Amino acid sequence: MGIRLGQHFLKNQYFAQMLAQAAHITPDDTVVEVGPGKGALTKELLKHSRRVLAIEKDPALIEKLRETFPDEVAGGALTIISGDIRNFKPETCRGLTSTGYVVAANIPYYITGEIIRQFLECDTPPRTMALLIQKEVAQRIVAHDKKESILSISVKAYGRPRIVAKVGKGCFNPPPSVDSAIIAIEDISKDFFSGFDEQSFFKVVRAGFASKRKYLGNNLAVIFEKERVSQVFAALDIAEKTRAEDVPLQKWKLLTLQLFERGFQN
């Protein structure tokens, strides 16, 4: 996947090694690599796992990967899938179970959030994701400034994100305009949603962040009765002038449980 498709190729092998290690791969794991490009990360992943599924969109790069890893392809250690990652469905791929695969990738910046959601929300999510993404996005996911976002809340509902390392723009060819970071999302599961509806949770979160200029209560009052929102805030000890970015994950869960006791209003 070349620069015309939004990817900057990693040329620093040290960070390829660090990303592979951050995925906590066991020999029995299947690794899904998104956009392998010229194979810098692929080389490291093959050292840790007996099976790597590399999903690549660019035909020229697919041919290059086959030339670089002929023995691994012939022996079945490396399977190259031609296509757009956004059309890939883990639940339809043999061998991908919630305990048996991880995702490792140098992700094009413009589809970072989409790819993360795709794997976390699917029926068979990976155990771990180790990703090389834009540094500012990584910081937003872990709420580096103590301010939450839809993305940070969404990721934390499924797993534990942590920044592994900062990666300078000079480690890529061509170099991007911003720095990057390796982020690991560990212990991925859907346990957080035990006892309540996943879709209801995200309806509340999206509603709460609908307008940054408004307080959380005013945003939620658009789809829930204002009186009901006030009652729930009082019960959960949430101040009237609270903003969505200041509400932690567990509080969002309690908000969802309380607000949906009387059903969705719109």
The beta strands (E) that lie in the chain are given as 9-10, 30-34, 51-56, 78-82, 101-106, 128-134, 160-167, 172-173, 180-186
Between CA 132 and CA 114 the distance in angstroms is 14
The residue length of the chain stands at 266
Give the model confidence (pLDDT) of 103-123 as tens digits: 999 988 888 999 999 999 998
CATH 3.40.50.150 domain locations along the chain: 3-193
Q: Hey, which residues does 185 pair with through a beta bridge?
A: 129, 161
**Per-block average pLDDT, block size 10, for the chain (266 residues)?**
59 93 92 94 94 95 97 96 91 72 90 92 93 95 94 96 96 91 96 91 96 95 94 96 96 94 50
Between CA 67 and CA 60 the distance in angstroms is 11
CATH 1.10.8.100 domain locations along the chain: 198-261
Which CATH number, 3.40.50.620, 3.40.50.10260, 1.10.357.10, 3.40.50.150, labels domain 3-193? Answer: 3.40.50.150
pTM: 0.91
pLDDT of res. 6 = 55
Q: CATH number of the domain at 198-261, please?
A: 1.10.8.100
**C-alpha 166: how far from its chain's center?**
17
Collapsing DSSP to helix, strand or coil, 209 comes out as coil
- Which residues are CB-neighbours of 217 under 8 A, at least 6 positions away? 226, 229, 230, 233, 238, 240, 242
Give the model confidence (pLDDT) of 207-258 as tens digits: 999 998 999 999 999 999 999 999 999 999 999 999 999 999 999 999 999 9
pLDDT of res. 262 = 52
Check: CB of residue 44 under 8 Å from CB of residue 72.
Answer: no
pLDDT of res. 64 = 96
pLDDT of res. 1 = 35
Check: CB of residue 20 under 8 Å from CB of residue 130.
Answer: yes
pLDDT of res. 92 = 80
CB-count burial class (<10 Å; 0-12, 13-18, 19+) for 212: exposed
pLDDT of res. 148 = 96
CA atoms within 13 A on the CB side of 97: 5
